[in-house]
Homo-oligomer: A and B are copies of this chain.
């Protein structure tokens, strides 16, 4: 699984973000440890996979533990597949600091690995025979989590559909509502290309008729919103691709590990999904012991 093993190279949470996690949880330390008077005791903490998963969040966990003065002795790579029972992270430090970092690190890794793992499941489902269809995640991540959510997507072998509203052109019906003729996709695409010719023009359509209009308008990407695989197949069969394989067909709306393969078989070029953002967290066991 080398193709997604170095996502840690690409997305970097700032130190400020790491410290936000402290602020959420441990602003005044672990009261229990302090009240017990055990803070100075040296200890060891290990994180182990309780189920097979694609790991994400271990770099950040390592960084946050280090900032607490904990010595991290092992970190599995973001994007690696971790089998049930395998070690993800190990660290040594004072009881005070181990307790302060424990749950923040655990919750972050469980959540991020949940996204990475489901993304990977969709990626696997999208590999039908020799065909490998890119899996692209939307900008509908849970509020405040955009950066780490997208890192987890990439860790799972996916890519980013849109970073936000400012980096891509996606023509919605809600845009066309403000045009003189809201059904004139051709004119809309022309205007978009005239103003921002470098960027790909993506058009979201919710009917086959609109898909044909988008194709005619020389859209770069036609995003079929909530189409059945059969309808996708009809479009794919009839569409006339240009020499550079444009227009690209993208499918979106309710696609996950279970039905991704159906769309691949129907001939889509890419899968667009928000499902991983709400994936179940992966289960990670933490053990803390006295040294």
Contact = CB atoms under 8 A, between A and B. Distances in A.
Contacts of A43: 177-178
B9 A197 contact: no
Interface in A124-149: 132, 134, 136, 139-148
A290 B11 contact: no
Nearest to A45: B174
Instruction: Indicate how many identical chains form the complex.
Output: 6
A165 interface: yes
Q: Which of A17, A35, A192 has the most CB atoms of chain B within a 10 A radius of its CB? A: A35
A3 interface: yes
Contact of A41 (B30, B111, B163, B178): B178
Q: Could you say which of A9, A242, A269 has the most chain B C-beta atoms within 10 Å of its C-beta?
A: A9
A29 B165 contact: yes
A30 B198 contact: no
Contacts of A15: 15, 19
Interface string A8-34: 011110111101111111111111111
Nearest to A291: B178
A256 B43 CA distance: 34
A84 interface: no
A15 B141 CA distance: 20
Contact of A22 (B9, B14, B99, B177): B14
Given A14-B23, A132-B194, 20 more contacts: A6-B96, A7-B34, A9-B29, A11-B29, A15-B15, A28-B150, A31-B196, A32-B175, A32-B192, A35-B191, A36-B179, A36-B191, A37-B195, A41-B178, A43-B178, A103-B140, A111-B142, A145-B145, A159-B195, A197-B248
